[in-house]
Amino acid sequence: MPEPRKSADRPVRLLGFWGTPENRSLPNPADLVDAAWEESQRQWVADYLNHGQVAGSWMGASRCRLCACSNGSRDLTDGHYLWPEGLAHYVLDHGVRLPTEFLGHIERRLEALEELERDSSWWRQNAAAT
């Protein structure tokens, strides 16, 4: 049996972390706003982001860089990307467009889930055993 992949083999990619006045090496969300981005696609992306697995929790909530609302205190992941909990807010409420590569990643992941072969026999056999 192969050993589980170590995180050093393929680090998760950070997404939706923003620069500060002290550190401008990360993007500014205001530079990524696309007012023409269709709301239906923004909702689809936000739903995906909101359903990530919790990867870490922090002591205080961050604030949106565009409207200052409270924007969560956790980091979420899908095992390939890691993003702050409030990223869905930026996408849905402000039209912050994420990279095309990430949008393709979401599409491929969701298609793979839809194509899974489903087998209910295990559940039928084991539900009564509880």
User: Which residues span the domain enclosing 33?
Assistant: 9-116
- 17: in domain: yes
- 127: in domain: no
- 86: in domain: yes
Residue-wise pLDDT tens digits, 81-114: 999 999 999 999 999 999 999 999 999 999 999 9
Angle (deg, nearest 10), helices 39-50 and 100-114? 70
Number of domains the chain contains = 1
Task: Give one word for 62, left, alpha or beta, with left for phi > 0 and alpha for psi -120 to 50.
Answer: beta
- 111: in domain: yes
Percent of the chain with pLDDT over 70: 92
Cα four-point dihedral sign 96, 101, 105, 107: positive
Residue-wise pLDDT tens digits, 70-79: 999 999 999 9
In degrees, rounded to 5, the angle at the alpha carbon of residue 117 between the alpha carbons of residues 115 and 120 is 140
- Look up the pTM and report it: 0.85
- 21: in domain: yes
CA 14 to chain centre: 10
- 129: in domain: no
